Structure formats: C-alpha cells, structure tokens
Chain A
Amino acid sequence: MRTITKRTYIVVFLVLAFFAGLGIMLYSFYANGGTWASNRANNHIYSGGELTVAGTIYDRDGEALVSTNRNERVYHEDKSTRMGTLHIIGDSQGFISTGIQTLYRAELIGYNFIDGIYKTISSDEGCDIKLTVDADVSAAAYKAMNGNKGTVLVYNYKTGEVICMVSAPTYDVYNKPTDIDTDKSGKYDGIYLNRALTGVFTPGSTFKVVTAICAIENIPDIYDRTFTCKGKYTTGKGKGDGDVICNGTHGKVNFERALNVSCNSVFAQLAIELGADKMTETVRKLGFGKSISLGKVKTVKSTFSLSGSTRLDIGWAGIGQYTTLVNPCQMLMLMGAIANGGQAITPYLVSSPSELLSSVTSPVSSNITLSEETAKKVRKLLRSNVKNYYGDSKFPGLEMCGKTGSAEVSNGRSHAWFTGFSVKKDLPYAIVVCLENGGLGYTHAIPVANKVMQAVAKMD
C-alpha cells in the first residue's frame, strides 16, 4: 500500500501548478489593474464610451479645468482655455492619447489595487489631479498664436513646473468640428497630437546656441576672433563643398555680434572648424537624442546626425538646417539649463496627488550636462541678443534672453522660433515658441513670446 500512497505526491505537483497559475493571475491583476479598470468597457465609470465618473483636474490656481457633474464631464467655461488646455487634459473619448485624462485615467477614477474603484463608485467621484499649468496663460498663449499651427511652452526653470503647453491646431471639446476625419485641406493635421511632446521641427537659427556652446567649450580664443561675412560662406572648392547663404551681408563681426545678427556665415564656418565629432559630442551632451519623461509620457527624441556628411552639410547643420530635427521640449530644457547655471530641471505637469510626483525621477535631469561657466557665457550672449539686437522694447519689463529662429523647410513658409528665458529674479521662466510655417522668428515668434510672457508675469 505504501507504494501506492507514495504516488499521491502527484497531487502536490498539481497544487504547485495551481499556485503558480494563481500567482501569475494575481500579479497580472496587480500590474494591469489600472489599465483594465479604466477600460472603456467598464460600465462602472464609462457610459457610451465617455467617462462618467472621474476626478476633477485643476490648474495651478485651483481652477477646475474639467470635472464631473451628474455623470458628465464638464470642462472649463472659457473657450480659449478649453482650446489651450485640450492637449494637456485630453478629451473624454480618449482620442488624445497623451492627455492627462487618458494617461492618468486609472488615477482619475481613483483605482488602487486594494480598493479597486469601490470609493469612486460609492461616492460617485474619483480622485482629483492638480496640474502645474495656468489656465489664463494657456488661454493667452492660444490667443497669441492666432490660429497658427505650432506650440508654446513655458516652464519654471528653477522648479520644473510647466506653466503653459499649448499645441495647435486644436478644437473645442464642446464643439468638435465634424469634418476632422473627412477634411483634406490639412487644417486639422495632427490635431490629436500634442506637438510639444510628440512633434519635431527643424530648429533653424535657434540651433546656433548649440554651435555657440560647442565653440565656447572648444575654441579658447573665440571671443578674440573677428569674422567677415560676405553674404555667404564658401566651404571650399572640393567635392561636397558649396555655399552657405547668409541672411545678410554683415561685414566684420565678432562672436557676440555674429550671434546677435544670427550670421549664417560665421556659424557655418565655426561648425566646420569644430568638425563633426566635436559637434556631435556637444549635441549629445546637451541631451538631444534622449527623450524627456514628463510623468507617464515621454517626448520624442530630437535627431542630429553628421555621419557621412560633407563639409557643406556640417556647415548647414551648424546653423540648424540639414537633417537636424528638435523637439520643442528639448529646446525648453536647454534654455532652462542655460538660465539655471547649467542645471536642467526636468519639467513636470502634475503637482498632486503627491504619489504621482514620484514618477518624476529627480528634479535635476541627467539628460543635459552643461558647465556653469559655459552657461553663464551663453546667458550673456543671449541677453545681448535681446538687449542689443531685438530690443528690450519687444519684451517690456521682462529682461528676456533668447534666440530667434526661422527654420527653412521644404514646404511653405519657414518655422518661426523663439527660445528664451527671463533673468528677472521673480520671473524664472523659460519659453519656447514654435510656429509651424509661421514666418520669421523675429517678426512672428517674438510677439507671441512677449504676449505669453506678459501673461506669465501677471500670474500670481
């Protein structure tokens, strides 16, 4: 009998297999619970594909951007605010995949593994989320963009709070255009995309800041040199050489003046002198090629590649043309690093509940390494841009530093860029304005930047 009863150990194997399965099941419950519970098919919180029970999303002043009232999502009453914050908070249906309502769905419905969504169901309200963005600044930015496609980004370079993140084209959630899917004119191109996070653009002259940083770090006598601009720069006579056309004939200029007037000849010359390796190294050190995490969402990577390029290509790359594409957020962080003495603070969107903050790894981003000395020098140069060239009158009372850009693109008008920051003690904000096919940076981006920064300055 003992030989038979010994074989009962087969039951142990079954029990072990059972517990293994149970473990896998519970783990997948734990790992995917939030995703599953916030699925659109969950009739506890969704009805007809729309969220019915979810928490309120507040802006930095506690203004409700979207809340739930009687099983319906209610958005901000001001149309411009609705349109300006659309891409941050997302829509009720979840078309905008990077919106807070989509990304933080599980948190908004108050899901946690222990209680499920019991509290949400029993009290009919979910968990609230507070954002760092300002409703008024967003509305102002949206208005300032004046119908242009593009993005405006503002963040506090000392704390990392994103004050404004507007992406256009946009729409009003209460009055969604019916022809979005059928339109062929291109006015709704990428309407569900948040350009600040998932867009990349040719940087144009704003990239000269990068070339300047590379030059400062690698050419010791850069401030003592003088350059001559004849309206164009001829890289040589060999194969793959050619002319880099300048935006004007600047004559004899020094380094600072060359950046002020955004002289293509000088920067193409510098880029070629520095060479592909040093340029690539600097670009890498400044974090291009890495994506930035804003909580749960990651930005797309900026691309910069000089492999197999000719002297002419390097020249064009040095002034932000060629194949270079940058993400607006990346430019924002670069400005933040320059403004903050070399330390780039990671931007973030969600300020509470505090457990969501833990997804922001550390305040100082390891993406960008910039020495304090270089940062100071670049800050001086950028301040000089505004003071001596654009004019402080363009930014009344803001003490701005910055660089414009007019990136030439194959189709249509150039992208109008402005990247900059204020050096006022009580206004530690960096701004990036990028207007797709908006025109010249000087004429089109600066007024937008000014309007937004004025709104930021008015913010309490």
Chain B
Amino acid sequence: MQFITAVSRFILPAITLIIIIKCILSLWLGHPKEKTYGYIIDMIKGERYALNMWETSIGRGASCDITLSYDNVARTHAVFTRRIDGWYIHNINYVKWKKLAEIEGRLSRSSRKNTSSIIKVNGVKVEDKATVSDGDIITLGNVRLRFEVADDPVQKAGKRRKKSKDTVPAPVRQDMPLYDIDRRQEENGSYTVEAPERHTAPKKSSQPKIINKDTGEAFILCGNEVTIGKGRCDIKLSSRHAAKKHALLILYEDGWAVSDCSGKKGTYLNGKLITSPQLLFSGDVIAIGDERLFYEGGRR
C-alpha cells in the first residue's frame, strides 16, 4: 500500500496536468475562425458592411455594430439576427413605437410623422420581425439598404449545392457579390470562391448582345448600363407584364450582369427568380414577363 501511495503521489498530478492542459488549450485555441455571414450595403453611399456576428444591431448610435449616420435612422433601429432557420430583421422600437402611436392616435390620429422607427423589407412594413433573404432591399427610415448573404445557415446549403451542379460555373454565379467593384478587390479575402474555371470560359464573340427571342431583335451592349423595360429604356419590351423599368444590365469587371428592379414582378434568369445581380454567360436566357431575352457574347 505504501508503495502505491509513493507512486500515485506523482502519477496523479501528472495525469491531472495532462488532462487539464490538453482540454483547456483546445477550449481556448480551437475556436472556429470568425466568418462573414452576409453584407449590408448602404445604397446611398455605396458603403458595404460585413455581418460577421449572429446578431447585429444597426442604427445611428455609436454603440451599434453598424452605424448609419442619417437623421432618419433611430439611435438603435434594427437588429439582424442569423438564426438556424434563416435571417431575420427585428424592429426593436416596435413596442415603443406602437405605444407611442396609440397615444398619438388618440390625441390627433396622425402617427405618420413618426417615421424614425419604420422598417420595410422590399417595401413591406415590418412590425415586430421579418425574415430577410439574399438581395432584399431593406428600408430603415428612408435609407435603403441591400442585404446580401455570404454564408447561409446550414439547411439551405444542402439544397443549393445540389442545384449548382446543373449549371456550370455555378459557384461564381451564386456567390458572386456584384455590387461595388472597387471594394471587391480590397476585400478579396472575404470571398470564399475564386473560380479558376473563369479563364477557360469560351469567348464566342467579342461583342456581347441581347437577342429578343420572340422578335429576333438584337441589341449590342455598350456603355456601362443598359436598361430594360416597357418605358423609356434602351431595350424596349412590349409585354404587358413588364414594368416600366424592369431590369438593369450592368457592366462589371467580369462582364455583364443582370439585376432586377421591378420589385414584385421579378426577373428570371434561366428559369430562376433572381434576387441579386447575377453575372451573365453566353446562352443565358432572361425572362421578363412573357418575353425572353437571349444573351450572347463573351466576357471581358
């Protein structure tokens, strides 16, 4: 027994030290790297804010994670939360605002002036909270923001990967953030996919053009922006279902992209509703209303 005591006196502290140090080091150092889950783009100033936390407060005050210095934005206006089932925006002044509105409503029936706590997602007013998804336009007060997702919560990822197999260079198309070109270069590190296939993409024609499948009209794309719509646009449409200014073609560094500006009516690229600007590849079909436009041409 005495021998066992004499030995265990030193074995036990040694094992204790090993277990505790190994576990604590792993707890301290094995933490996953901070990720960027999405972006908020200030559409007035073109400022791009990364969302790298699960809960992000946004407002005028300096204590907010994202500070928007506009008078119309409340001190703390909204909270973006990333939950396991998707993204949400919370109107944190909702309760206060509702109470205020009730009091004011009783007094003068005019609560309209109180715009400071208004949140709209794609033009729809948010009361308590609402889900947001990639490409949504969010209005705080009168500041328009675009929301972009860089890393969806898990559930959607599985489906997405499956789909992406059908259309070739899918990763580029799906995850390509296409707003601010200059910034894109600076923040290159935060984009996860840098497709090597890009250089091998075929170059059929040096002049990209849009061909209206129904009328056979071709429109050679030039300049930096081309508008599509029923109204005064570069490419005129005749469909009843098209908006006055329905879609926009923008020239990026990597080529032309299509972006929807019709709001509810929607623009389809290869049969899929687009929610954010998407790069165009030769052979792509843009569907607006019941008209189909054919994109032909290489990329720069």
A118 to B8, CA, bound (A): 13
CB-defined contacts of B5 to chain A, threshold 8 Å: 122
Q: Which of B15-32 contact A (CB under 8 A)?
A: none
Q: Does A458 interact with chain B (Cβ within 8 Å)?
A: no
CB-defined contacts of B65 to chain A, threshold 8 Å: 1-3
Q: How many chain B residues have a CB neighbour from A under 8 Å?
A: 12
- Closest residue of A by beta carbon distance from B53: A1
The answer to whether A122 and B2 have CB atoms under 8 Å apart is yes
CB-defined contacts of A1 to chain B, threshold 8 Å: 53-57, 65
Least Cβ distance of A10 to chain B in Å?
17
Q: Does B6 interact with chain A (Cβ within 8 Å)?
A: yes
Q: Per-position contact with A for B60-71: 1 when CB-CB < 8 Å, else 0?
A: 000111000000
Main secondary structure of the interface of B (DSSP, over half): mixed
Q: Which of A26-83 contact B (CB under 8 A)?
A: none
- Closest residue of A by beta carbon distance from B9: A118
Q: Which of A97-152 contact B (CB under 8 A)?
A: 118, 122
Q: Per-position contact with B for A1-37: 1 when CB-CB < 8 Å, else 0?
A: 1110000000000000000000000000000000000
Choice from A2, A3, A122 contacting B6 with Cβ under 8 Å: A122
A3 to B55, CA, bound (A): 11
Q: How many chain A residues have a CB neighbour from B under 8 Å?
A: 5
- Closest residue of B by beta carbon distance from A6: B63
Least Cβ distance of B15 to chain A in Å?
19
Least Cβ distance of A269 to chain B in Å?
74
- Closest residue of A by beta carbon distance from B5: A122
The answer to whether B53 and A3 have CB atoms under 8 Å apart is no
Residue picked from A1, A2, A3, A122, most chain B C-beta under 10 Å: A1
A122 to B2, CA, bound (A): 7
A118 to B55, CA, bound (A): 56
The answer to whether B56 and A3 have CB atoms under 8 Å apart is no
Residue picked from A3, A118, A122, most chain B C-beta under 10 Å: A3
A395 to B33, CA, bound (A): 93
CB-defined contacts of A122 to chain B, threshold 8 Å: 2, 5-6
- Closest residue of B by beta carbon distance from A2: B65
- Closest residue of B by beta carbon distance from A122: B2
- Closest residue of B by beta carbon distance from A3: B63
Q: Which of B214-266 contact A (CB under 8 A)?
A: none
Q: Which of B140-181 contact A (CB under 8 A)?
A: none
- Closest residue of B by beta carbon distance from A123: B2
The answer to whether A2 and B9 have CB atoms under 8 Å apart is no
- Closest residue of A by beta carbon distance from B54: A1
A3 to B9, CA, bound (A): 47
Binding site for B on A (CB under 8 A): 1-3, 118, 122
Binding site for A on B (CB under 8 A): 2, 5-6, 9, 53-57, 63-65
| Extra A-B contacts (12), CB below 8 Å, given A1-B55, A1-B65, A3-B57 | A1-B53, A1-B54, A1-B56, A1-B57, A2-B53, A2-B65, A3-B63, A3-B64, A3-B65, A118-B9, A122-B5, A122-B6
14 residue pairs of the A-B complex, CB under 8 angstroms, read A1-B53, A1-B54, A1-B55, A1-B56, A1-B57, A1-B65, A2-B53, A2-B65, A3-B57, A3-B64, A3-B65, A118-B9, A122-B2, A122-B6
